[in-house]
Amino acid sequence: MAKIISIGTAVPAHQHKQEEILQFMQRVYAMNETDKRKLKFLYHQSGIQNRYSVISDYSKPVNEWKFYPHTENLEPFPSLELRMGWFNKYAAPLSVDAIRNCIEHKIHSDEITHLITVSCTGMSAPGLDLQVMELMDLPKNIYRSSVNFMGCYAAIHALKMANSICNNEKDAKVLIVCTELCTLHFQREGTIDNITSSMLFGDGSAAVLVTHDSYNHPGLVIKDFYSEIISKGKKDMAWELSSSGFLMTLSGYIPELIEEDFEALVNKSLLKSGIKKEAVDYWCIHPGGKRILEAIHKSLQFTNGQLKESYKVLNDFGNMSSPTILFVLKAILQHIDFNKEQNIFGAAFGPGLTMETFVASTHA
């Protein structure tokens, strides 16, 4: 069996209040007063107070913008090349910050045997994995792999890979780092998809250290994984390349689809793991948005703050895509008592519509 030893997180230097981003977007979308009021209502209902970005522009006056042009019509609007240039500049240092936060007082960097990088907001070859290797001076023969373009559930997919590696190699020390710079891809057209994306997403990075259960350090034992695709939601959540960046499709039906199917998914996952719902002490749910958390709360008939860590991460950081669930898990780990048997159920959602879950415990 494999276990999670530690989780580290990092965010960019620029913190933006949700109200500041609202004012920026009202300008970008060139809205009339009626539409501005509607957008303001949506932002105030988002459950988000702060987000972080590698871009300072969202809370700066026009003459101090660094990423967007100072022109009235925002031309030339940032190209895909510019966005990827910024990703290549900022993603690796942010990843290293998360990794160092993760392994501090746990292991030395030269003990890392496997590196798995995760991102859906930037791609290149050589890519993030080699950049991290160089910045941290990791061994040239390190095993490395990349999980690209899988979206918000990709961290769980990477944990599956780490689990398999550690089950086969008892001395493995697998380092996963999920880094997303979502705010590089905000778009100018005032479509409902673009408005929703610019209201929800932020930048962040999270790293997790996974070892075999025999490693002499307390950790969260990974029990099992389970995933399903809701085929009827295939077109409701999508992530595609375009000449002006990556384009997000986020249908308003997603919370309804999740509410309808989530309880059955949980029951199947717990049955596979041999754990009853009543035995779950913590629910580590990806905060894709306030309405998604409300849908899960209703689907599972929660009554007593079972999703408080998810709501807190959403409030403080927004939806950062793949690292977000690790931010939630890190918050949960601060409450865990490793002297007791405690169980965690985790779930995240992404394009497909894909729902990925994991079950972990303080005891094997």
pLDDT tens digit sequence for 24-60? 999 888 888 999 999 999 999 999 999 999 999 999 9
Domain boundary among 180, 212, 244: 212
Residues 197, 224 within the same domain: no
Total tally of structural domains belonging to the chain:
2
Return the number of other C-beta atoms located less than 10 Å from residue 13's C-beta. Answer: 10
Domain boundary among 175, 193, 212: 212
Same domain flag for 175 and 254: no
205 and 280 inside one domain: no
DSSP bridge pairs for 353: none
Q: 351: cis peptide before it, omega within 30°?
A: no
Mean pLDDT of the chain: 93
Shared domain check, 171 and 275: no
∠ CA 313-26-12, nearest 5°, is 35
Give me the mean pLDDT over the 3-31 stretch. Answer: 95
Query: With contact defined as beta carbons under 8 Å apart, do 183 and 51 qualify?
Result: yes
Sheet containing 173-181, strands listed edge to edge, beginning at the edge strand earlier in sequence: 143-148, 114-119, 173-181, 203-212, 2-10, 220-229, 354-361, 343-350, 280-285
Predicted TM-score of the model (pTM): 0.96
Strands 237-242 and 354-361: unpaired
Q: Is the pLDDT of residue 106 over 70?
A: yes
Of the pLDDT bands very low, low, confident and very high (cuts 50, 70, 90), residue 234 is low
Q: Are residues 201 and 261 in the same domain?
A: no
Angle at which helices 33-44 and 18-28 cross, to 10°: 150
Residues 314, 346 within the same domain: yes
pLDDT digits (tens, 9 = 90+) for 195-230: 999 999 999 999 999 999 999 999 999 999 999 988
Domain that holds residue 22: 2-212
Q: Which of 24-28, 172-176, 336-340 has the highest mean pLDDT?
A: 172-176
Verify that 327 and 224 share a domain, yes or no. yes
State whether 252 and 185 are in the same domain. no
39 plus 159 within the same structural domain: yes
Of 191, 212, 233, the residue at which a domain comes to its end is 212
CA distances from residue 244 to 61, 200, 225 in whole angstroms, order as listed: 23, 19, 36
Q: What is the token pair recorded at 244? A: 């002006």
Examine the pLDDT at 345 and tell me if it is beyond 90: yes
**Token output for 30:** 């060139």
Residues 91 and 169 in one domain: yes
- Evaluate whether 99 touches 136 at the Cβ level (below 8 Å): yes
Q: Are residues 240 and 271 in the same domain?
A: yes
CATH of the domain at 250: 3.40.47.10
Q: How many CB atoms lie within 10 A of CB 304?
A: 5
Same domain as 53, residue 198? yes
Instruction: Give the closest residue to 357 by CA, choosing from 8, 349, 324.
Output: 349
For residues 301-314, average pLDDT:
94
Which pLDDT tens digit goes with each residue over 60-95?
A: 999 999 999 998 778 898 999 999 999 999 999 999
What distance in Å separates the CA atoms of residue 10 and residue 15, rounded to the nearest whole number?
A: 12
Q: How far apart are CA 321 and CA 120, in angstroms?
A: 8
